[in-house]
Structure 1
Amino acid sequence: MKEVLEKSAAAGAKQFAGSTSRKFNYYQPKGRRATLYEDVTVDVQPDPKRYLLQDWIISFADGTPAYCETRTDIKSSDWHVFRDPNGEWERTHYIRQSGIEKQVSLTIENARKENAFENLDKTWIKVLQDHFGASKHPEYGLGMLFQSAQRDGMSQMINNAILVNSSDKLRYAQDIALYMMEIAQDIDQLNEAAGKENWLNHPLWQGTREVVEHLPASTDWAEQVFAANLVYEPLVGELFRSGFLMQFAASHGDYVTPTLVSTAEADFERNLAYSVEMFATFLNDPQYGDHNKRTVQNWLKKWVPMCVQAANQLQPIWSQPRVKVTTFVDSNTRAKERFSSILEQLNLKLPEEVKL
């Protein structure tokens, strides 16, 4: 082989650009230097517009290619521009998730040693049973939603970020389920099945359920991510987690629930960051930016009223704990301000006919 290369070089044969480099250099890094995240993520997914000379290798029976731009109303002049600001890939993701589970497990273990669950306020026990238990169902639903959405994204960077989002949601839903089982071992009056029953039938949760069950009905993966992360999460998901659970738990002798919920809030901050970055890329696309803005405006008309209604239906939960730490109005106001700040980051405004 060495002799062949020497003969080719002597004959003036052309060499592939960067063939002697010890680093990947077939893409344009976002920063001055390529990151390990970019090295293991960029162009992992094939694309006929980038190096795949023989067109798509796999297509569906009707001729639709494996990855098709028609699976979203969003258009892009280059699907490969987006980079996840979190820079997360398989190894870093597994390490982070493992650390979270260790933290949660240690907190629950210490709480059981101190009989913390037996000393919880009785009104708070019922809240955990009825409403925290119910909240695992929308979290699981979103996890499955993102798992489906990531399949249709047009680049590995997009799909990787959405898949990490899915893993975060499924982990948190599982943590809630396991946590309720732990509490039930120490508190006889706690009914694990109440959460599912409330999710399916309690009027407080039917608005939330409507949103979560409508999301998979959309066949547009970008709409699913936009509606879930940029509309539902700040107006409903974070409202319940930060505006209620994190505010009320400590006053009722509960220091374990905030530890668990804080992991979901950290997840949301990270997943919000990639979502804002991704849609900023779409909305500022040099060729399709105006089209994408019109598309997003239509999504806001569709999803904001549903999420506002879902949030308002949760209001009675704020009156159920014995100690009244804050009001629904205050928590909801903060949630709306958070949502408005997200729109400002994307330089978006609500359509005139949509009210918060």
Structure 2
Amino acid sequence: MSPRRSYWHLEGFGRKPSRYEIVSSRLLYHPERGFAVSTPAGALHERFGRGSSITPVSWETFEDPRETTYSSYTKLQSGKETFVDGLFDLADETGELRRVPASWLAFVIRVVAPLRYPLHALQMIASYVGSMAPSGRITLTALFQAADELRRVQRIAQLTHRLHSEHTSLGGDDARTRWENDPIWQPMRELVERLLVTYDWAEAFVAMNLVMKPLFDGVFMMDVPIHAEAVAPSILRGFCFSLAEDARWHAEWSEQLAMLMNEKEANRRLMAMWVQAWTPRALHAVRAFAPLLDGDLLARREAAFSKSLERLDLPRPAGSRT
């Protein structure tokens, strides 16, 4: 009798499974059988993981459109990090950061530097979604997204440090004070703090990846560099381009998971309710920056957000632009 293959549960494919299928399938024990040892963490999973308001679907049929594995992720991100390191090296060689205008410096200190705080929150929420998800494939994608968010925190902190080194007149890094007190950041702070205490994993996923991130990522990773193009150094545009590539993948895998959830009408109604509840908060958070950004860019971003909901057969919330 020949030994059983490690991917015996995939033998029904009638072909040799791909590497992604092998390493991502049926990774989790507890969604089907519960935890072997009773702990407070197990009770949390039982209530907000298995006990989520979302109606279970065939979670194992979810597929990351990029088929990301640990090895493919590290290879891909290594190339992106080399690109961003090259931007910083070039800025050092050309003295680009020393020549930026005062108006752009003020914009960076007020808008770009504090970004690492909401991004850190997004990293925490993505980690939570991954830890509570009912399938190993969802867990993997969410945790790779969490790593992407941490990458953004690191790179923005690096840019801020370089600017403070080149422009000592800026004084100390007051990004935390701005995050906690600047009026333009308070709607965003309220949004992420509410998200951090949203414990149903499916609602946290919908609120973060289907509502907040399409607006947040679009505004800060795509629109801000366009708005600042005339005065901002190429380093900002270049590394925002690289970070926006990550955000596009987050949107792609989230759309795949949302369509899987949508297979059941009860889920579609529930997701529509969550979208209606979270959209006004997200719109309020990004609209707070309207005085600092090109109004046309913000309007187009909101219209793109509405179209993304339409693709998922979710109604456009009241107050959002078409």
Asked if TM exceeds 0.5, the reply is: yes
Partner of 1:193: 173
CA distance 1:255–1:355, shift in 2 (3 Å): closer
The ranges of structure 1 where at least 4 consecutive aligned residues each deviate by more than 4 angstroms after the TM superposition are 28-33, 65-69, 353-356
Structure 2 residue runs of 5 or longer lacking an equivalent are none
Are the aligned partners of 2:188 and 2:285 in contact in 1 as well (CA < 8 Å)?
yes
**Distance (Å, rounded) in 2 between the aligned partners of 1:209 and 1:272:** 22
- Is residue 76 of structure 1 aligned with residue 56 of structure 2? yes
**Distance (Å, rounded) in 1 between the aligned partners of 2:31 and 2:134:** 11
| Count of aligned residue pairs for this structure pair | 320
- Is residue 130 of structure 1 aligned with residue 110 of structure 2? yes
Residue identity (%): 23
Are the aligned partners of 2:126 and 2:145 in contact in 1 as well (CA < 8 Å)?
yes
The aligned amino acid for 1:205 is W
- Is residue 26 of structure 1 aligned with residue 9 of structure 2? yes
CA distance 1:226–1:66, shift in 2 (3 Å): closer
The aligned amino acid for 2:279 is V
Structure 1 position 337, deviation (Å): 1.9
Report Cα offsets for 1:188-245 as digits up to 9, x if no partner: 223452322211111111111111111011111121121111111222331132122x
Are the aligned partners of 2:122 and 2:149 in contact in 1 as well (CA < 8 Å)?
yes
Structure 1 position 71, deviation (Å): 4.2
Give the alignment of 1:32-47 within 5 angstroms: 34-47=17-30
- Is residue 237 of structure 1 aligned with residue 217 of structure 2? yes
TM-score, with length taken from structure 1? 0.83
- Is residue 159 of structure 1 aligned with residue 134 of structure 2? no
**Distance (Å, rounded) in 2 between the aligned partners of 1:30 and 1:208:** 46
TM-score, with length taken from structure 2? 0.91
**Distance (Å, rounded) in 1 between the aligned partners of 2:309 and 2:11:** 29
Structure 1 position 58, deviation (Å): 3.3
**Distance (Å, rounded) in 2 between the aligned partners of 1:80 and 1:45:** 10
Report Cα offsets for 1:138-162 as digits up to 9, x if no partner: 1111011111221111110010010
The aligned amino acid for 1:270 is W
CA distance 1:293–1:46, shift in 2 (3 Å): same
CA distance 1:236–1:85, shift in 2 (3 Å): same
Partner of 1:182: 162
SS across alignment from 2:98: coil
Match of 1:221 among 201, 207, 225: 201
The aligned amino acid for 2:20 is Y
CA distance 1:158–1:332, shift in 2 (3 Å): same
Greater Rg, structure 1 or structure 2?
A: 1
Structure 1 residue runs of 5 or longer lacking an equivalent are 6-14, 319-326
CA distance 1:308–1:32, shift in 2 (3 Å): farther
Match of 2:119 among 136, 139, 154: 139
The aligned amino acid for 2:305 is F
SS across alignment from 1:84: coil
Are the aligned partners of 1:249 and 1:257 in contact in 2 as well (CA < 8 Å)?
no
Report Cα offsets for 1:238-287 as digits up to 9, x if no partner: 1132122x213331151001112112211111011110000100111xxx
CA distance 1:278–1:253, shift in 2 (3 Å): closer
Match of 2:316 among 345, 350, 354: 350
- Is residue 341 of structure 1 aligned with residue 316 of structure 2? no
**Distance (Å, rounded) in 2 between the aligned partners of 1:97 and 1:213:** 29
**Distance (Å, rounded) in 2 between the aligned partners of 1:346 and 1:180:** 38
**Distance (Å, rounded) in 2 between the aligned partners of 1:338 and 1:176:** 25
**Distance (Å, rounded) in 2 between the aligned partners of 1:192 and 1:223:** 38
> Which of the two has greater helix per residue?
2
**Distance (Å, rounded) in 2 between the aligned partners of 1:332 and 1:282:** 29
Structure 1 position 66, deviation (Å): 5.8
Are the aligned partners of 2:35 and 2:42 in contact in 1 as well (CA < 8 Å)?
no
The aligned amino acid for 2:22 is D
Report Cα offsets for 1:87-107 as digits up to 9, x if no partner: 111111122222222211111
Partner of 2:273: 298
Q: Aligned Cα RMSD in Å?
A: 2.4
The aligned amino acid for 2:24 is T
CA distance 1:137–1:48, shift in 2 (3 Å): closer
**Distance (Å, rounded) in 1 between the aligned partners of 2:179 and 2:38:** 39
**Distance (Å, rounded) in 2 between the aligned partners of 1:214 and 1:162:** 19
